[in-house]
Amino acid sequence: MKKKSASHSAFFNPRVLLGVLIVLAGVSLALFAANPFGRSSTASAARNQQQNQPATPPIDPSALPPGFDCSQVFNLGINRQDNMRAGLIMIECGFMQPASPSQGGRVFGTGGLSQWMQKLLPEPLFIGGADVDVILPDAAFPKVTQSESMEWCGPNNTCVVNYNDSRTSGGCYSGLSYSTDNGTTWHAGQPLCTGHGTNFGDPIVVYNAALNLWFAGDLATGCGGQGVGLWTSVDGITWIPGACAANLSSGAGDRESMWVDNNPTSPHFGRMYISFNNFAVGGGALQVVYSDNGTVWTAPITLNASFIRDVQITGDLQNSGRVYVAAMNEEGGGLTTRQNVMYRSTDGGVT
């Protein structure tokens, strides 16, 4: 007797068919959640951006920088920037939609589906103890955005997290939390909101072991218009305004990163480095500044004269004093292939 093939039997197995239908339904729902209005709306939005035309009329022109021309968004590279101020300009000029309380609230909406799928997955392994919310108490919607955090731990069991915080948006977009028990409990506040004009976030923070001093920074209008402003602290709790690490014109500074060489045997022990994109040069030049005392900083040193995305600056944890900047050539964006690029300095950031 000729036997049925295994594939033929499986195809007509009711349980298999039911499983296939459930999977297809899940995929369809996920695709719908990603674009509930169909392909035409996505294509329309893409055409609008390609033609440099706002998708919707400006929401509140008074929120834009004085005299800002929305037709210059693409010429100034605002659409390629990562900071809070650039995001506000994109919203106010109509190139992006603001968040609403209903987003992600549906059972199979983008957020709902993600949370539902997450619950089906096993708990990931995590280094350390239980997760702790470092920003409580939170504000009321819509001022509930905390993002792009950077953390550093120093002496006396003290850890500091600097992050974007919209709870006092309009006047300040910075939040900072500290812990004095190695991260078990946290105290949230906004100590970086005064001293350098309007703080637009993009957080950096380090503890300098050579100077016994904390340094935290953000993009600030008081440092050239959109440069890197610093604050200092002896304990990670109380902060005072410090120097401008980089004076950059309005709309210029973006996505800064910071590292300090805390190895006592390094030839550059205590030297601090900050990398960033400067959209006033070459449409987003990759640059670095450094300082040995936190007060006097070098002029920007250009690593790449045209736009290449700053990702992270870091250094050798041994004693060579080498510094590294990871960057990404986005090749124009869209569906093009990205290229990771690494820069290295063997002379303390000079070259």
DSSP of 167-181: TTTTTB-EEEEEESS
Q: Is 146 helix (H, G, I), strand (E, B) or coil?
A: strand
Q: Is 74 helix (H, G, I), strand (E, B) or coil?
A: coil
**Do 265 and 223 belong together in one domain?**
yes
CB 245 within 8 A of CB 289: yes
pLDDT in tens, the chain (351 residues): 333 334 444 444 656 555 656 656 665 555 544 444 443 444 444 444 444 554 444 445 555 777 778 888 888 888 888 888 888 888 888 888 776 654 433 333 344 555 555 555 555 544 566 788 999 888 888 898 899 999 999 999 999 999 999 999 989 999 999 999 999 999 999 999 999 999 999 999 999 999 999 999 999 999 999 999 999 999 999 999 999 999 999 999 999 999 999 999 999 999 999 999 999 999 999 999 999 999 999 999 999 999 999 999 999 988 899 999 999 999 988 888 999 999 999 999 999
CATH number at residue 141: 2.120.10.10
Whether residue 91 lies inside any domain: the answer is yes
d(CA 66, CA 60): 12
d(CA 314, CA 28): 43
CB 229 within 8 A of CB 195: yes
**Do 162 and 276 belong together in one domain?**
yes
- For strand 204-208 and strand 213-220, is the pairing parallel, antiparallel, or unpaired? antiparallel
**Do 70 and 185 belong together in one domain?**
no
Q: What is the pLDDT of residue 154?
A: 96
* Nearest Cα residue to 294 out of 201, 225, 217, 236: 217
**Do 159 and 200 belong together in one domain?**
yes
Q: What is the pLDDT of residue 50?
A: 46
Whether residue 119 lies inside any domain: the answer is no
Q: What is the pLDDT of residue 16?
A: 52
**Do 49 and 144 belong together in one domain?**
no
Q: What is the pLDDT of residue 6?
A: 40
Peptide bond into 191 cis (omega under 30): no
List C-alpha distances in Å: 94 to 17, 47, 103, 170, 323.
Answer: 46, 14, 18, 18, 40
d(CA 8, CA 14): 12
Q: Is 214 helix (H, G, I), strand (E, B) or coil?
A: strand
Which structural domain, as residue segments, surrounds residue 88? 39-99
d(CA 287, CA 304): 7
Q: Domain ends where: 99, 114, 139? A: 99
Peptide bond into 124 cis (omega under 30): no
Q: Which residue in this structure is represented by tokens 């210059």?
A: 72
State CA 248 to chain mean position distance. Answer: 19
Structural domain total, the chain: 2
Tokens of 35: 């674009």
Whether residue 11 lies inside any domain: the answer is no
**Do 170 and 76 belong together in one domain?**
no
Whether residue 87 lies inside any domain: the answer is yes
DSSP string, 304-338: EEEE-EEEEEEE-SSSS--EEEEEEE-TTSTTSPP
Whether residue 112 lies inside any domain: the answer is no
**Do 60 and 180 belong together in one domain?**
no
**Do 200 and 302 belong together in one domain?**
yes
Whether residue 22 lies inside any domain: the answer is no
**Do 229 and 293 belong together in one domain?**
yes
> What is the residue type of 103?
Q
Q: How many CA atoms lie within 13 A of 52 on its CB side?
A: 10
Q: What is the pLDDT of residue 97?
A: 78
Q: What is the pLDDT of residue 225?
A: 95
State CA 336 to chain mean position distance. Answer: 22
Residues listed for the chain: 351
Tokens of 31: 């695709």
Whether residue 31 lies inside any domain: the answer is no
Whether residue 50 lies inside any domain: the answer is yes
Between helices 14-34 and 110-120, what is the axis angle to 10°?
140
**Do 95 and 225 belong together in one domain?**
no
CB atoms within 10 A of CB 40: 9
Tokens of 141: 């919607």
Q: What is the pLDDT of residue 38?
A: 42
Q: What is the pLDDT of residue 290?
A: 98
**Do 229 and 139 belong together in one domain?**
yes
CB atoms within 10 A of CB 292: 18
**Do 58 and 165 belong together in one domain?**
no
Tokens of 61: 């022109």
d(CA 102, CA 89): 23
